[in-house]
Structure 1
């Protein structure tokens, strides 16, 4: 899928943000890092109506879960009646089982395009390799977001934390904090999503459990192999989503009210 028509406008926005915050550029927190964080938050806010719809749908399923479990137990040997009873329950709750899928399908091209932009900043944001190579790309303990968090520079130092000119290899190098945060935040979002789903049979539950454990591992491995700027984007995005889901899933409103 060619998403250049989305990538270039996103890249223009990141460049605009970069120019706006360039006066804040420091050796600890670069304007590039700030622009990634602000752009991530901006797009999460833009997509919030869709994510709210999706999360509210999850809340409805969470609250209907005891009733669904009871129906599944009662009609486990009669699949047709089971399906009919579930649909009746959904209708009574004014809930469409597909309501949580459409927002996700609309969001995906934008999120994937943003991923491409951060992965190829020269092409989509700065359009100048020399400028990108020379600019400050630091973020807290990371010297350069354009490299992997555990990258070993020619001078023998890791892309990690330095104190008084001495690099501490376990921070960002041997112990990649951002990659770990990427995996753990993915685990939290997966866990919250799974908790809101209706009761599943043994095979479905086993598959879901495997996915919940595998996705964080995959994101961790991915984060230590790609530029640290991507991991920063993913962590900020996940933190935003976790807070949003927590607030909605723990709100006191009823399902019908949530879907309005």
Structure 2
């Protein structure tokens, strides 16, 4: 599966690179290769936009019915079968699918793995001629080669962590459950730290993909939150 997606992603990366490399003179510190990674990331985010919008609506609906879920859990805590039936009725009444929130992760995880493959083996999945690939400029401002990790921790690794944290804040919906709030706060800290540690060893091109993807998601989520809030106020 990841090899199949790697070929698709690599082919798109090569196509975008060919397009941008024909626009004129390549900037010294902002290579066509870096441009191609950024544009390819945005394209994939646009493709996944309907799925992510569905997730946002599902998360908002889940938080709206959470008090009723808690009430059912407390009322039927000694009767699991009745609790399950009542929860199913609640989901049906509000047209809510508990598995909907996992769908974007299930879709995006293979794409991330595929990008790992492309960045680790670009001459297999994207640029078929090794000599041509080695001769390419791969700079991105302070990074001389996007094939290797960013030499500065304050660069892409820190940006990857910071944008991951900001993205988690935009996705959080208010919860009345103290335990859920505590879990969310822990995840908001743990995940950025994990991403920072991992990005130190990533090829900088992969870290760049992560940062651009997060920025796109933050903008998309802010716009979505405003739209959903406006719809709720009108109703």
Normalised TM-score (structure 1) = 0.76
| Structure with more helix by fraction | 2
Check 1:21–1:123 CA distance in 2 against 1; reply closer, same or farther (3 A cut): same
Residue segments in structure 1 that go unaligned for 5+ positions in a row: 151-172
Aligned length: 228
Q: What is aligned with 1:115?
A: 116
CA offset digits 1:146-186 (Å, max 9, x no partner): 22111xxxxxxxxxxxxxxxxxxxxxx3x432110101111
Q: What is aligned with 2:26?
A: 25
Which residues in structure 2 correspond to 1:193-208 (within 5 Å)? 193=171, 195-196=172-173, 199-200=176-177, 202=179, 206-208=182-184
1:253 alignment partner, SS class: helix
Q: What is aligned with 1:228?
A: 204
**8 A contact 1:7–1:124 mirrored in 2:** yes
In structure 1, which of residues 190, 194, 219 is the aligned counterpart of residue 168 of structure 2?
190
Check 1:213–1:124 CA distance in 2 against 1; reply closer, same or farther (3 A cut): same
**8 A contact 1:68–1:198 mirrored in 2:** no
Residue segments in structure 2 that go unaligned for 5+ positions in a row: none
Q: What is aligned with 1:167?
A: none
**8 A contact 1:18–1:31 mirrored in 2:** yes
1:213 aligns with 2:189: yes
In structure 1, which of residues 170, 178, 183 is the aligned counterpart of residue 156 of structure 2?
178
| 2-structure distance, mates of 1:103, 1:148 | 27
Q: What is aligned with 1:93?
A: 94
CA offset digits 1:107-141 (Å, max 9, x no partner): 33233213321332222111233322221111122
RMSD: 2.7
Which residues in structure 2 correspond to 1:1-260 (within 5 Å)? 3-22=2-21, 23-69=24-70, 75=75, 78=78, 80=80, 83-150=84-151, 173=152, 175-193=153-171, 195-196=172-173, 199-200=176-177, 202=179, 206-251=182-227, 252-254=230-232
